[in-house]
Amino acid sequence: NRDRILQSERLNVVSELAASVSHEIRNPLTVTSGFLQLLNKSTSITPEEKEYVQLSLLELNRAEKIVSDYLSFAKPQSDNMVFSNMQAEAEYTKNIIMPYASIHKVEVKFSFDNTLNKSYDKNQIQQCLINLYKNGIEAMRDKDGGILTIDISEKKQNILITIRDTGIGMTKEEISRLGKPYYSTKEEGTGLGMLMAYSTINKVKGNIEVESEKGRGTTFLITIPT
């Protein structure tokens, strides 16, 4: 089952506002979660109180997930702007997800051909790539591992980024839902990762094509004009 999605204007508004408060949200989350963990170890609270503490920790965890899927790299700052070819971003983020890949028995193959330069917000591109890499890995965890192939090259005046997994794949219907806010098929999912990816690629006037086959895997092909 093969299909493609062309890039559309998807909720740019949300990311602008959200990004500006992301940083401020993170610190209180960390502090609160730290104190709750201390309280959780206390021997003087009742079992019922302990349960409240643990529920609170779970909810904080979820908030933290939303921040990290959607906002952690998104803070828009002019000094995040670079004129570069995305190699540094693709490799840096590949290294960040390596531990996640190995615990899910995923092998990561990375290849890079020198490409043209382009102005972009490097933090947003990093967040976008991480979200796509993570989805690829998560699509393979139920298949007991697989291969994540990341490839950067250039074609005519475009930078091409290909991210391919050998995971569970998607039906046509599932593909058409990608990028809709809160669409997730995962128990712990936020449904914000693809939204962020689409909105980032949209900002650099690129587009994302999806090819997927149920049970076999998925390829995201990102084309960014220079």
- Which residues are near ligand ADP by CB under 6 A? 131, 135-136, 139, 165, 167-170, 178, 183-186, 189-195, 218
The number of beta carbons lying within 10 Å of the beta carbon of residue 37 is 12
Q: Which of 193, 207, 211, 223 binds Mg ion (CB under 5 A)?
A: 193
Q: Does 127 bind Mg ion (CB under 5 A)?
A: no
**In this structure, what are the phi and psi dihedrals at residue 80, rounded to the nearest 5 degrees?**
-85, -15
- Token pair for 30: 């960390």
Q: Where do we find the tokens 């089952």?
A: 1
CB–CB of 85/122 below 8 Å?
Answer: no
Instruction: For the CB of residue 90, give the shortest distance to Mg ion in the complex, in Å.
Output: 18
The number of beta carbons lying within 10 Å of the beta carbon of residue 34 is 10
Q: Which is nearer to ligand ADP, 115 or 218 (CB)?
A: 218
- DSSP per position, 158-191: EEEEEEEE-S----HHHHHHTTSTT---STT--S
168 binds, among Mg ion, ligand ADP, none (CB under 5 to 8 A by kind): ligand ADP
Residues 43-102 that bind Mg ion (CB under 5 A): none
Using DSSP bridges, classify how beta strands 118-121 and 146-155 pair: parallel, antiparallel or unpaired: unpaired
Q: Which is nearer to ligand ADP, 75 or 141 (CB)?
A: 141
Q: Which is nearer to ligand ADP, 145 or 189 (CB)?
A: 189
Q: Which is nearer to ligand ADP, 115 or 131 (CB)?
A: 131
Instruction: For the CB of residue 40, give the shortest distance to ligand ADP in the complex, in Å.
Output: 26
